[in-house]
Amino acid sequence: MDISKILDHIHQLPEQSKFALQNNVTEIAFSKGHILLKANKIEPNIYFIKKGLVRAFIERDNEVTFWFGKEGETVISMKSYVEDQPGYETIELLEDCELYELKTENLRKLFSEDVHIANWGRKFAEKELIKTEERLISKQFKNASERYLELMKDHPELLQRVQLGHIASYLGITQVSLSRIRAELK
Amino acid sequence: MDISKILDHIHQLPEQSKFALQNNVTEIAFSKGHILLKANKIEPNIYFIKKGLVRAFIERDNEVTFWFGKEGETVISMKSYVEDQPGYETIELLEDCELYELKTENLRKLFSEDVHIANWGRKFAEKELIKTEERLISKQFKNASERYLELMKDHPELLQRVQLGHIASYLGITQVSLSRIRAELK
DNA sequence: TTCATTTTTTATCATTTGTTAATTTTTTTC
DNA sequence: GAAAAAAATTAACAAATGATAAAAAATGAA
């Protein structure tokens, strides 16, 4: 998905503002397994995924995957982006990826100068918020097997592209538990 | 907490922009038990809590509380605010409340006109996002008893102001389960 | 292909949380 | 302050999920 479409998909921008954003974006590619973003560091960039798939995970005793990003989505350490604090997530490429890189510093400058871009940034945060809120509510309401069915319905392609250990972790259960759930659904 | 302080606490605003916002705010009071916001309706206002305590819950078989709001916090149906869609939450006053009311429609107008207010709105969404993300991660990582301890640590006053049934529901467990956890901690 | 490695499934038992019902404690109302 | 109502706790059993280990299946490398 190309940068112009990605930006517009977040929130429609006047041509001039879109160009201003695009001018600050550079293309970059990494291969599967690359660690794009490390936990406990302030991350100076955000990325838009042109092609490929990534996951965000947190390391404690075990790795817990809490987000997948695919074409058109934004890779961002919210803590870095919002609070200039080190984030808790590591981002790993699950496939070879082509990315658009944008320096947070430059983006902030654009936010302060251009009301359209400020509102674009507002819309971005708002949409991410809705998604996160829905996941929280899903977790509050549904048991593991319902959450699995929901994921199958909303993002069926993930099951093809991501190994089940990561899916289980994303659903908040163990891989063994997910296997059991899948067996019961047959 | 008065409106000027609430607005600045979200994100510092130049005086002129702050006045523009304040001019669109009206004070209003309701007593304990009042339903401020109904599920499945598009809510045309947002509210800032001057004084009091509210909860957001979703009704299925049972009520599930998923948010508490106290002095200084913002009462908002994200679905209404962001997508102009009916929200899933009902908001109930747990104490007599004094509120500041702001029409979403007016706020949107200010967003489009004033870059400072647009960035204020961006900051608001970003901060809410960080909070929601942290809760999601807490839910992914911690068991019920750890989440209870975390709540005691971060918001000890809630335990004084809110009955345990709501707390249990917020933690994603049954009241009976919470009682068991509390008994074990003694 | 074939062997080695990784991923997924299955099985067993332990632990956590849910459900229902009864009891105790606290709060509200008269 | 007593009675009624609401909230919180306790107990017993059920269901869901976790942990560990072993087996089977899928994937990747030589």
Q: Tell me the CATH number for domain A3-111.
A: 2.60.120.10
Which residues lie below 8 Å from residue B10, measured CB to CB, with a gap of 6+? B74, B120, B123, B124, B127
Query: What is the reported pLDDT for B62?
Result: 80
A60: pLDDT strictly greater than 80: no
Summarize the confidence of residues A175-182 as an average pLDDT.
96
Query: Does the distance separating the beta carbons of B127 and A82 come in below 8 Å?
Result: yes
Summarize the confidence of residues A44-52 as an average pLDDT.
96
Q: What is the pLDDT of residues A133-178, one digit of tens each?
A: 999 988 888 889 999 999 999 999 999 999 999 999 999 999 999 9
Query: What is the reported pLDDT for B24?
Result: 98
CB of A139 closer than 8 Å to CB of A147: yes
CA of A180 to C1' of C3 (A): 30
Burial class (CB in 10 A: 0-12, 13-18, 19+), B44: middle
Mean pLDDT by 10 residues, chain B (186 residues): 96 97 96 92 97 92 90 96 94 95 98 98 97 90 90 93 95 95 88
Kindly report whether the global pTM for this prediction surpasses the value 0.85. yes
Which residues lie below 8 Å from residue B46, measured CB to CB, with a gap of 6+? B74, B75, B76, B81, B101, B102, B104, B107
Query: What is the reported pLDDT for A63?
Result: 87
Domain ranges of chain B: 3-111
Query: What is the reported pLDDT for A53?
Result: 95
A186: pLDDT strictly greater than 80: no
SS3 A170: helix
SS3 B74: strand
What is the distance between the alpha carbons of residues A57 and A91, in angstroms, rounded to a whole number?
6
Strand C contact at CB of residue B171, distance < 7 A: no
Nucleotide nearest to B174 (CA to C1'): C18
Strand C contact at CB of residue A181, distance < 7 A: no
Query: What is the reported pLDDT for A62?
Result: 80
Q: What is the pLDDT of residues A114-123, one digit of tens each?
A: 999 999 999 9
**Closest chain B residue to A89, measured at CA:** B137
CA of A175 to C1' of C6 (A): 14
CB of B65 closer than 8 Å to CB of B57: yes
- At residue A151, what is the residue type? L
CB of A158 closer than 8 Å to CB of A170: no
Query: What is the reported pLDDT for B143?
Result: 86
Q: What is the pLDDT of residues A70-119, one digit of tens each?
A: 999 999 999 999 999 999 999 999 999 999 999 999 999 999 999 999 99
